[in-house]
Structure formats: C-alpha cells, structure tokens
Amino acid sequence: MNIRAIRGATCLERDDAAEMADAVTELLREVMSRNSIEPDDLISVLFTSTPDLHSAFPAAAARGVGLSDVPLICAQEIDVTGAMERVVRVMVQVQTSKARSEIKHVYLRGAEALRQDIAQ
C-alpha cells in the first residue's frame, strides 16, 4: 500500500455558504470516485481557499459527506495579485495501491485553468 496525494480545485461564482458546500461536496466526490477511494482510505484532507471566500469553511462540507473521522484542516491561499478568484483547493492524502502515474487529479468549475498539465 502506498501513500499518495491527490490534488484538486473548484471555483465558486460568489462567496456563498450553500455554493461552497455544493462545490466542495462535488469536488470531494469526484476525487474519491475517479480514484476509487473509500473513506477508510483517507489519511487527511487539506483545504485552502482564496482570501475572497469568507462564507464557510470548506471542511464543513466534507463533514457533510460523511468524513467525520478524517482529519481536516483549512488554510488561506497567499494573496497573489492577478490570481484566480473564489477558488477552493484540496490536497487529499490517501492509502492506495495505485502508482503515482495512475492518480487522477480533479479540477472543476473553471479551475481546470489552474493546472492544465494534470487536470483530468
């Protein structure tokens, strides 16, 4: 069994708690589905959000999809001039038998522009 990190991101149209919950839920479900990950495979999840998002913690949405016993943490992205706005990023640490080259990183709702080299 290997420990791997899976990256992903999603964009919000506005700073809204309901939209945050929907976008993060969608992102987590896609990361888990595309990589055949079960909740027991998760080690921890790190979320970051851009400084313009204040309405909710991304981790609250993860709790809402049943990740109640997985360590979660939120942090703020550095405020870089000209960077994409209203972005939630995630790094999911998992136990998996997949090789690093088999990992599918997930970018949704316009966030594909952030990492066109690895977006699936």
The predicted model scores a pTM of 0.92
Q: Which of 12, 14, 8 is nearest to 28 (CA)?
A: 8
Q: DSSP label at 77?
A: P
Is the pLDDT at 58 greater than 60, yes or no? yes
User: 100-113 pLDDT, tens per residue?
Assistant: 999 999 999 889 88
CB atoms within 10 A of CB 66: 10
| Residues designated as active site | 7, 63, 74, 77, 89, 107, 115
Over residues 50-72, the mean pLDDT reads 93
Over residues 2-6, the mean pLDDT reads 96
**Range name among 15-19, 21-25, 108-112 with the lowest pLDDT average:** 108-112
Per CATH, the number for 2-112 is: 3.30.1330.40
Beta strand residue intervals within the chain, DSSP E: 2-11, 42-49, 72-76, 87-96, 106-107
Query: What are the extents of the domains in the chain?
Result: 2-112
**Token pair in block for residue 36:** 């055949």
Q: DSSP label at 1?
A: -
Is the pLDDT at 21 greater than 60, yes or no? yes
